[in-house]
Amino acid sequence: MLLETLPADARRVAVIGVAKNAGKTTALNALLAEADAAGRTVGVLSVGVDGEAHDAISGAPKPPVRVPRGTLVCTAEATLRTASAGVEILDGTGIHTPLGELLVVRVTRPGNVVLAGVRHRDDVRSLLLRLEPDVALSVVDGAFDRTAAADPATTDCVILATGLVLAPTAEGCAEKTASLVRRLRLPVAGPGERVPPELADAAALRATEGWRAAPAATLSGPWPRSEARFDAVYQPGLVSDATLLLAERLLEPGGLLVARDPTRVLASDAALRRFARGRRIACLDGVRLAAVTVNPTRHDGTAGDSAALARTVAARLPGTPVIDVRTWTPDAGLRC
C-alpha cells in the first residue's frame, strides 16, 4: 500500500518520523518489501543512523532495517561488520565519516543492515545521483531531528511516521501530527511573490520597486535598525521564532515571509500562530506528502488501538492516506 501512495513521477522518497520510535523503521521496511515484491530495485541511505539494535539514548530495543536481495545500500564502512545481509561492495564515494568511508554495496543475501554516515544535504544529493542509474526508486531514511531527507530539492515526496510516542491518546497524536502536516503543507509562493533566482541565496526584501538584496545575508543574524517596512521578505535559511519576530518588524500588515521550503520552518507553533494573525508565510518549493503511517506503541511499551489511531489521524488529514503498519511483518508482507 505504501508503494501505491507515491506520486507516479516519484523516483526519490523520504521516510521521516515525527519523533523517535514513531514507527519509521517499520514503514521503511514495509516500503522496501513492497518494492521488492513489485520487482522494483531500490537504493537506500539514511540521514542519521537507523537499524541499530538498541536506541543510542534510551537503550530500548529497535527493529532492524531489513533489505531484500538486489537492494543498493549506501552506508559507512564500519556498519557492514554487523550486517546479517550479504553484500558486495560496488565502490567507494570519497565521503569519509567517523565510521569510515561511505560505500555503495549491493545486497546479495537478504538480511539486516545498519544505515549510517550521511550527514549533509549535498552528500544526500550526490549519493542519490550515484544510485539512480541502477535503481527504480531511491529511499532516504530521515533522522527524527533532521529535515534534509524531506527537502523538496532532494526528494520527490515524503512518507511520515507518527504514533502514540507523540502523545498518549489518539486525539493528542492526531492534533500534533496535523500541526506538523500543516507546516509541511505551507503554500507555495505565487508567480509575483517569488524571489528572483539570482537573489535566492541570501535574504531579500520587496517593496514597490521589486525585490532587492537585504543589508544582511540572513534574517537570523544581527540586523541594522530601520523604520522601513516591506510587503515581502525572503529568508533562505532556517525560520525560527527569532526570524518571525524580525519579519514582523520588517513587514507591513498583511505582508509575506517567503521561506525556501517547509523543511526550513522550525519556529514553534505559538510563534507561527502569532505571525499568522497579521502576516503570511509561503515557500519557494513545496513538500508532497504521500502518506502517513501510525504506530500504536507508547513510550512505556503499552499499545493503544491501532485501527482507532489510524481513523483518528485520518479524520484530521482529509485526502491523505493513513496506513496502519502494525500488522506488517517482514515475512508476511504489508497489510492494512
In this structure, what C-alpha cell is assigned to residue 71? 537492494
In this structure, what C-alpha cell is assigned to residue 281? 508565510
| Fold topology of 2-185+287-324 | Rossmann fold (3.40.50)
- Cα–Cα distance measured from residue 273 to residue 161, given in angstroms and rounded to the nearest whole number: 24
SS3 readout for the chain: CHHHHCCCCCCEEEEEECCCCCCHHHHHHHHHHHHHHCCCCEEEEEECEECCCECCCCCCECCCEEECCCCEEEEEHHHHHHCCCEEEEEEEEEEEECCEEEEEEEEEECEEECEECECCHHHHHHHHHHHHHHCCEEEEEECCCCCHHHCCCCCCEEEEEEECCCCCCHHHHHHHHHHHHHHHCCCECCHHHCCCHHHCCCCEEEECCEEEECCCCCCCCCCCCCCCCEEEEEECCCECHHHHHHHHHHEEEEEEEEECCHHHECCCHHHHHHHHCCCEEEECCCCCEEEEEEECECCCCCECCHHHHHHHHHHHCCCCCEEECCCCECCCECCC
pLDDT value for 119:
85
pLDDT value for 58:
58
pLDDT value for 220:
84
- Cα–Cα distance measured from residue 297 to residue 168, given in angstroms and rounded to the nearest whole number: 9
For the entire predicted model, the pTM comes to 0.90
What is the pLDDT tens value at each position of the chain, 336 positions in all?
A: 899 999 999 999 999 999 888 999 999 999 999 999 999 999 999 998 886 765 655 566 778 999 999 999 999 999 999 999 999 999 999 999 999 999 999 999 999 999 998 888 899 999 999 999 999 999 999 875 556 688 999 999 999 999 999 999 999 999 999 999 999 999 999 998 999 999 999 999 999 889 999 999 999 878 888 778 999 999 999 999 999 999 999 999 999 999 999 999 999 999 999 999 999 999 999 999 999 999 999 988 888 999 999 999 999 999 999 998 765 444 433 333
- C-beta neighbour count of 253 within 10 angstroms: 10
pLDDT value for 227:
77
pLDDT value for 328:
46
Domain spans of the chain?
2-185+287-324, 191-283
